[in-house]
């Protein structure tokens, strides 16, 4: 009788023959050898079967099924798995050789944990690293709340979980067209801890066929996932549980940002109104408008944007403001605070100017804030921007004295 492996690697594949070999070779290169790999071909019409036929390792199993979607492919693999631990590896991603060597013992060392996770590098279609995010970890007791309120920051290939824990909560939801991984992480972490490793051991490939590029699909699934967890967003948000308010605020904030990046101003404005309804403090914060501008940039430019980078995003932010004001001109309609929205946006753009050391931009937007909204001087956000200005001046003076 064949001994059970320590971990089953599930590799769903749909028309990713061009990437599959790289993914499988990263499994073959693991320094931890006690694994089985299950490739689930979800009805591919490319050369996936030929690629698999060229793999000569008895630990690799191939399952073909008619196309049923990513969640169903993963569930097929999990059901066929012989190990107690499951590691996901999408066919377009790959691992560092020490991934299993570090992740499997980590999860085994916490008897009550549902899963262990690590960070990842972002690579382009050719495999070149274009961004290496910090390997974010949170305390196990805060994981569920952080996932709900801040969104999913994990790459599926960076998670190893217990098969029994997934079976207890129903595995992947096959009705979701996206974010099925975040949905499972939320359901698992609501019951049992997730343990984080602050190392990037995964290479997550970004390319034009990524599901995450379909913003409408992602937002729809995010909304569906939140409704499933907390119920529909009916009635007054003040009557909701705090976690429900924060969950839907995140969904609506994402809608504002992603539709703005797509140039879909009507949808972006619609989601902004929903955000204002659920979380007015967030909708009227200058920080939101900073994030809306930055979110339009490629990942690799968001941390270090230049004035040139932000020219188009700033124009898009102003277009969104115009779209909002055109729909709600004159006196506020149903409490619509048109002037407060504009004030927050101007302060956000002023703050952005400071952060990228664009003095003219700062002067323009801070001046407009003060001239058009003189009561802004009584707001904390106004003085936070002033504080940033003073801190910047002090830094410049300090550098000048040191170089003198």
For 295, residues 6+ apart whose C-beta sits below 8 A from its C-beta are 257, 258, 260, 261, 302
Q: Which range is least confidently modeled, 62-76, 90-104, 381-395? A: 381-395
Q: Which CA distances in Å does 398 have to 287, 402, 404?
A: 27, 6, 10
Based on the domain organization, do 319 and 217 belong to the same domain?
yes
Based on the domain organization, do 162 and 285 belong to the same domain?
no
Name the pLDDT band for 212 (thresholds 50, 70, 90): low
* Strand, coil or helix: 179: coil
What is the distance between the alpha carbons of residues 124 and 206, in angstroms, rounded to a whole number? Answer: 5
Based on the domain organization, do 64 and 97 belong to the same domain?
yes
Q: What is the pTM of this model?
A: 0.87
Q: What one-character DSSP code corresponds to residue 43?
A: S
Residue 254 structural domain: 213-403
Name the pLDDT band for 144 (thresholds 50, 70, 90): very high
Kindly state whether residue 2 falls inside one of the protein's structural domains.
Answer: no
* Strand, coil or helix: 117: strand
Q: Which of 173, 205, 237 is the last residue of a domain?
A: 205
Kindly state whether residue 1 falls inside one of the protein's structural domains.
Answer: no
DSSP string, 345-373: HHHHHHHHHHHTT-HHHHHHHHHHHHHH-
Dihedral angle computed from the Cα positions of residues 70, 76, 145 and 138, in that order, rounded to the nearest 10 degrees: -90
Find, among 348, 339, 346, 247, the residue nearest to 288 by Cα: 348
DSSP string, 46-83: SSHHHHHHT---TTEEEEEE----HHHHHHHHHHH--S
Q: Which of 205, 239, 254 is the last residue of a domain?
A: 205
Based on the domain organization, do 292 and 186 belong to the same domain?
no
Based on the domain organization, do 33 and 176 belong to the same domain?
yes
Kindly state whether residue 380 falls inside one of the protein's structural domains.
Answer: yes
Residue 133's domain is classified under what CATH number?
A: 3.90.550.10
Name the pLDDT band for 333 (thresholds 50, 70, 90): very low
Name the pLDDT band for 209 (thresholds 50, 70, 90): low
Name the pLDDT band for 2 (thresholds 50, 70, 90): low
* Strand, coil or helix: 162: strand
pLDDT for position 132? 80
Six token digits for residue 163: 């098969």
Find, among 234, 237, 268, the residue nearest to 253 by Cα: 268
Q: 326: burial class by Cβ within 10 Å (0-12, 13-18, 19+)?
A: exposed
Find, among 204, 219, 210, the residue nearest to 155 by Cα: 204
Taking only Cα atoms into account, the Rg of the chain, rounded to an integer number of angstroms, comes to: 24
Name the pLDDT band for 23 (thresholds 50, 70, 90): very high
Q: Which of 153, 188, 205 is the last residue of a domain?
A: 205
Kindly state whether residue 161 falls inside one of the protein's structural domains.
Answer: yes
Q: Which range is least confidently modeled, 99-103, 119-123, 337-341? A: 337-341
Whether residue 340 contacts residue 282, with contact meaning beta carbons closer than 8 Å, is answered with no
pLDDT for position 334? 46
Helix 215-230 with 242-261: angle, nearest 10 deg: 170
Based on the domain organization, do 221 and 368 belong to the same domain?
yes
Average confidence (pLDDT) over 367-382: 92
Q: What pLDDT digit, counting tens, does each position of 159-194 carry?
A: 999 999 999 999 999 999 899 999 999 999 999 999
Based on the domain organization, do 164 and 16 belong to the same domain?
yes
- Length of the chain measured in residues: 404
Based on the domain organization, do 368 and 263 belong to the same domain?
yes
pLDDT for position 88? 98
Based on the domain organization, do 199 and 233 belong to the same domain?
no
91: left (phi over 0), alpha (psi -120 to 50) or beta: alpha
Based on the domain organization, do 192 and 242 belong to the same domain?
no
Kindly state whether residue 20 falls inside one of the protein's structural domains.
Answer: yes
Phi then psi for residue 146, to 5 deg, are: -65, -40
Q: What pLDDT digit, counting tens, does each position of 241-298 carry?
A: 999 999 999 999 999 999 999 999 999 999 999 999 999 999 999 999 999 999 998 8
Examine the pLDDT at 299 and tell me if it is beyond 80. Answer: no
Based on the domain organization, do 359 and 232 belong to the same domain?
yes
Q: What one-character DSSP code corresponds to residue 158?
A: G
pLDDT for position 401? 81
Whether residue 259 contacts residue 278, with contact meaning beta carbons closer than 8 Å, is answered with no
Average pLDDT, the chain: 92
- Number of domains, the chain: 2
Based on the domain organization, do 162 and 259 belong to the same domain?
no
Kindly state whether residue 137 falls inside one of the protein's structural domains.
Answer: yes
Examine the pLDDT at 404 and tell me if it is beyond 80. Answer: no
Name the pLDDT band for 213 (thresholds 50, 70, 90): low
């Amino acid at each position: 009788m064949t001994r059970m492996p320590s971990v089953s690697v599930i590799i769903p594949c749909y028309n990713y023959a061009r990437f599959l070999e790289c993914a499988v070779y990263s499994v073959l290169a693991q320094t931890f050898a006690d694994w089985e790999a299950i490739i689930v071909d979800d009805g591919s019409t490319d050369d996936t079967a030929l690629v698999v036929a060229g793999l000569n390792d008895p630990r690799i199993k191939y399952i073909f099924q008619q196309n049923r979607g990513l969640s169903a492919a993963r569930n097929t693999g999990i059901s066929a798995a012989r190990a107690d631990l499951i590691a996901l590896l999408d066919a377009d991603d790959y691992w560092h050789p020490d991934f299993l060597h570090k992740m499997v013992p980590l999860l085994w060392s916490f008897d009550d944990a549902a899963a262990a996770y690590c960070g990842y590098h972002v690579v382009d279609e050719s495999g070149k690293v274009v961004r290496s995010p910090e390997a974010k970890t949170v305390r196990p007791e805060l994981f569920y709340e952080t996932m709900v309120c801040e969104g999913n920051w994990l790459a599926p290939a960076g998670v190893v979980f217990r098969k029994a824990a997934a079976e207890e909560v129903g595995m992947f939801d096959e009705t979701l067209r996206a974010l099925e991984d975040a949905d499972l992480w939320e359901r698992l972490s609501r019951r049992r801890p997730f343990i984080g490793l602050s190392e990037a051991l995964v290479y997550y490939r970004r390319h034009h066929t990524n599901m995450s590029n379909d913003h409408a699909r992602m937002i729809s699934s995010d909304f569906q996932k939140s409704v499933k967890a907390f119920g529909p967003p009916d009635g007054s948000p003040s009557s909701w549980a705090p976690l429900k308010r924060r969950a839907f605020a995140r969904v609506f904030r994402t809608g504002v940002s992603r539709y703005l990046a797509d140039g879909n101003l009507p949808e972006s404005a619609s989601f902004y109104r929903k955000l204002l309804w659920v979380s007015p403090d967030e909708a009227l914060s200058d920080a939101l408008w900073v994030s809306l501008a930055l979110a339009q940039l490629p990942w690799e430019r968001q941390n270090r944007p230049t004035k040139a980078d932000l020219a188009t995003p700033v124009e898009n932010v102003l277009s969104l403001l115009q779209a909002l004001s055109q729909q709600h001109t004159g006196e506020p309609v149903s409490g619509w605070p048109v002037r407060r929205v504009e004030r927050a946006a101007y302060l956000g753009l002023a703050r952005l100017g400071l952060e990228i050391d664009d003095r003219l931009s700062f002067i323009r937007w801070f001046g407009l804030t003060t001239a058009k909204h003189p009561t802004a001087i009584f707001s904390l956000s106004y003085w936070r921007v002033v504080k940033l200005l003073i801190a910047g001046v002090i830094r410049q003076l300090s550098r000048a004295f040191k170089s003198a």
